[in-house]
Amino acid sequence: MNRPSLQWKVLERRVARDLDMFRTPLSGSASHLTAGDVVHPQLYVECKYRKRSALHTMMAPVCVNAQHEGKIPLLVVQQANSRQLLAVIEWPLFLRLLDGQEKEEDHGPS
């Protein structure tokens, strides 16, 4: 069993593996490759492991309701006094979308 203090490293390894990439050597910003947690040619990947997350709390009912309606769960979050919108989707869906995008790029437009 992994110690709780190392769960962030487990998360980084999982994300790197799922993206077919690798964790950033050293401590992120000390690396010459990227300051992110995972080396990726297109994505800047930062991993955060938390005991509690407001996003998870907000996303849970979205997933339940989407499942009841046979739809894809999507949570859009905007902070007051900010123009930035965040789209929150489940990790497996993100990987499928990314995989589809990469396949399109490999084969060019149809």
Q: Where are the domains of the chain?
A: 1-49, 52-110
pLDDT at 2: 58
**Whether the model pTM is above 0.85:** no
Return all residues near 22 (Cβ < 8 A) that are at least 6 apart.
16, 38, 39
CB 37 within 8 A of CB 24: yes
CB 91 within 8 A of CB 18: yes
Query: Using one digit for the tens of pLDDT, what is the confidence trace for 13-70?
Result: 999 999 999 999 766 566 678 889 999 999 999 999 999 999 999 999 999 999 999 9
Q: Which two tokens stand for residue 6?
A: 């190392």
Alpha-carbon distances of 92 from 16, 18, 72, rounded to whole Å: 14, 9, 12
Q: Cα(33)–Cα(36) distance, rounded to whole angstroms?
A: 9
